[in-house]
Amino acid sequence: MTLSLLMATQAQPAEAFWSKKKEPLMERAEKYYENREYYRAREATFEILAENPNHEAAQALMGKILDKEIERQKEQVYPMAVEEMDSDDRSSEIKTWLERSNALLARKEYDLALFAAEKVFIFDAENRQASELIDRIKERAIKEGKADVLFLGKMYKEEIAERLSLYRDRARELARDGHFGQARFTVEKILLLEPEDPQALSLYQNVLEQEEAFRHEA
């Protein structure tokens, strides 16, 4: 191999290699979107953007997902009561809350992970997966010396709303100061707990737009 060819090979952008490596995840995210599984589509897209914020296809897909979720939020002014749900609706809610709890646990948000796991019992009072997940959350929090945060696991709606409000304010502050990655991470914590929060969805879209505009100006 000549020196010039070697240099050209080494100069290939890292994004190209990363994009190739992550293509199956992108395909999965698009499939979730096509199947109207917007929460799962957003989670897969989050994973892509966490590693490569410049992934154009993932950015475009995230915009479409957010548009759909905002649209759905407007349509669902009055959420369906648990008593009105059939078994499929309940199973879907259970699966979604378990996914949220696991995602929050991965982020070491133990109190919010516990809150999300306990939401499952609204739809199935004896859900085994939720019980096992709660035990895992408590075990991990205690092991890391954060058992005190578990007392917040029984938070009332007002306390959750206050926490989300703080996250929104923090995300706006971070975005204003140009810390777009941290701002996105903060908004993601809101969306993990309240995936259809219209303020968070709008804020996330604004952060992505500001980040994109900043890259073009740089």
pLDDT of residue 132: 95
pLDDT of residue 75: 46
Radius of gyration of the chain, Cα coordinates, nearest whole angstrom: 20
The ranges assigned to domains in the chain are: 1-78, 90-152, 156-218
pLDDT digits (tens, 9 = 90+) for 28-41: 989 888 887 777 78
Average pLDDT of the chain is 76
pLDDT digits (tens, 9 = 90+) for 70-99: 565 544 434 556 667 788 888 888 888 888
The matching CATH number, chosen from 1.10.8, 1.25.40, 3.10.450, 1.20.120, for 90-152 is 1.25.40
Q: Name the pLDDT band for 16 (thresholds 50, 70, 90).
A: very low
pLDDT digits (tens, 9 = 90+) for 166-216: 888 999 999 889 888 888 888 887 877 677 677 888 888 888 888 877 777
For residues 16-26, average pLDDT:
60
Q: What is the DSSP string of 124-174?
A: -TT-HHHHHHHHHHHHHHHHTT-GGGGGGGG--HHHHHHHHHHHHHHHHHH
pLDDT of residue 80: 58
pLDDT of residue 153 exceeding 60, the answer is: no
pLDDT of residue 46: 80
pLDDT of residue 150: 63
pLDDT above 90 coverage of the chain, percent: 8
pTM score: 0.47
pLDDT of residue 67 exceeding 70, the answer is: no
pLDDT of residue 136: 93
